[in-house]
């Protein structure tokens, strides 16, 4: 593995602590969570108590005020262990930043401390049944009536959808204005007219609650608007680079975890009187997988450096998202092949990692959309 220079001894101490926490508090229960369709609420509150949620949130809002590398470490360790049910990344690195960067002081004081503690779980509702990755085609509306807005519409594929206490909803405040008519709102658990649909049954990520959401004449106070009316699309574009970088970070760490599982397996498993690891084909495949991961790691670490100095561009994040997630699926498929028939058995973590990895090329904007973003810089 290529040596990494991004992290200090304090970062690595945090990583070691988190790894042990996940090994003790999450890994033994993940199979049951897959049966349940969601992780336990207790995991969230324990994570909050230990400082693993929203590490970048400022001290004035109950957070540690740490640098973004602490969030990177949380993403990496969750992904490396294949704990795909844990929706901390979306809560920490997508929902909380919208509130901290664009919310009012009252919103920050109301929501952020409880997001840090795990008392409130966050989600964001962008995708609609007919819209997919096209955010400008949002049909959900939030029409102003006096001192409040009336929200109507539906969303689907919403991560943390069943467990979320607060949901940032993308809606049109002026449907005639296209992207310029999009605004962001905070919808809270229990608001009249807000209903959750079924917990969706997916090919992978079975422990992650992913839901349909319905809004029927939900009355939203003016103070639940995030930032300025009509600025929602701008806010989304500003934050999507970090989201897509996070997906690439997850992909690399997940590949590293899959390679480790595969190495352990081929060293122990025998066929035709010798270890699988002793076959030349196995050795060649392992060399290719390891090299590809090293290249991806160096690439993504460079983009992390750019993000830390606020130099990461939207096209660069899009390129990383599509290239690294395509590679992730290819490398995990190679790992499954080295496991043979056992690689297709759900009881083996490599099978679950393989199934989980497929959606990485879809969410956060499909990889085809990512290529379009990159192409626009070239022509």
Helix, strand, coil percentages, rounded to 5, for the chain = 55, 15, 25
User: How far is Cα 190 from Cα 59, in angstroms, rounded to an integer?
Assistant: 29
User: How far is Cα 133 from Cα 266, in angstroms, rounded to an integer?
Assistant: 40
User: How far is Cα 239 from Cα 231, in angstroms, rounded to an integer?
Assistant: 13
Burial 283-312 (b: 16+ CB within 10 A, else e): eebbeebbebbeebbebbbebbebbeeeeb
Strands 122-125, 166-172: pairing kind: parallel
List the alpha helices (DSSP H) in the chain.
9-25, 30-36, 41-49, 68-80, 88-90, 96-102, 105-117, 232-268, 280-308, 314-339, 349-357, 367-376
Burial grade of 334 (CB within 10 A; 0-12, 13-18, 19 or more): middle
Q: Does the annotation mark 288 as catalytic?
A: no
**360, 144, 172, 104: which is closest to 252 by C-alpha?**
360
User: How far is Cα 115 from Cα 125, in angstroms, rounded to an integer?
Assistant: 17
Query: Which of 229, 243, 256, 268 is labelled catalytic?
Result: 243
Give the three-state DSSP class for 42.
helix
Q: Do residues 150 and 142 lie in contact, with contact meaning Cβ atoms separated by under 8 Å? A: yes
Give the three-state DSSP class for 128.
coil
| Residues annotated as catalytic (active site), given as ranges | 243
């Amino acid at each position: 593995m290529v040596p990494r220079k991004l992290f200090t001894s304090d970062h690595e101490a945090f990583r070691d602590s988190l790894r042990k926490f996940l090994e003790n508090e999450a890994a033994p229960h993940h199979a049951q969570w897959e049966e349940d369709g969601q992780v336990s609420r207790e995991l969230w509150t324990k994570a909050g108590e230990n400082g693993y949620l929203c590490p970048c949130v400022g001290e004035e809002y109950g957070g540690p005020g740490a640098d973004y590398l602490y969030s990177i470490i949380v993403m990496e360790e969750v992904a490396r262990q294949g704990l795909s049910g844990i929706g901390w990344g979306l809560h920490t690195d997508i929902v909380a930043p919208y509130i901290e960067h664009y919310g009012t002081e009252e919103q920050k004081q109301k929501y952020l401390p409880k997001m840090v503690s795990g008392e409130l779980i966050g989600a964001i509702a962008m995708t609609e049944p007919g819209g997919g990755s096209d955010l400008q085609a949002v049909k959900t509306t939030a029409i102003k009536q006096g001192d409040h807005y009336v929200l109507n519409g539906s969303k689907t594929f919403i991560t943390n959808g069943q467990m979320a206490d607060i949901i940032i909803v993308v809606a049109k405040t002026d449907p005639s204005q296209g992207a310029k008519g999009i605004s962001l709102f905070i919808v809270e658990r229990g608001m009249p007219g807000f209903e959750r649909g079924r917990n969706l049954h997916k090919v992978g990520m079975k422990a992650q609650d992913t839901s349909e959401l319905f809004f029927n004449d939900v009355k939203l106070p003016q103070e639940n608007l995030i930032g300025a009316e009509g600025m929602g699309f701008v806010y989304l574009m500003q934050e999507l680079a970090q989201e897509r970088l996070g997906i690439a970070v997850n992909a690399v760490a997940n590949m590293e975890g899959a390679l480790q599982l595969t190495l352990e397996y081929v060293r122990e498993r025998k066929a035709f009187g010798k270890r699988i690891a002793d076959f030349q084909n196995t050795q060649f495949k392992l060399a290719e997988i390891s090299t590809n991961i090293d290249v991806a790691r160096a690439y993504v670490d460079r983009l992390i450096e750019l993000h830390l100095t606020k130099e990461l561009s939207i096209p660069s994040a899009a390129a990383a998202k599509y290239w690294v997630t395509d590679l992730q699926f290819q490398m995990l498929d190679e790992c499954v092949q080295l496991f043979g028939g056992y690689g297709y058995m759900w009881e083996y973590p490599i099978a679950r990692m393989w199934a989980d990895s497929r959606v990485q090329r879809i969410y956060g904007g499909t990889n085809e959309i990512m290529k379009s973003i990159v192409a626009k810089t070239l022509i």
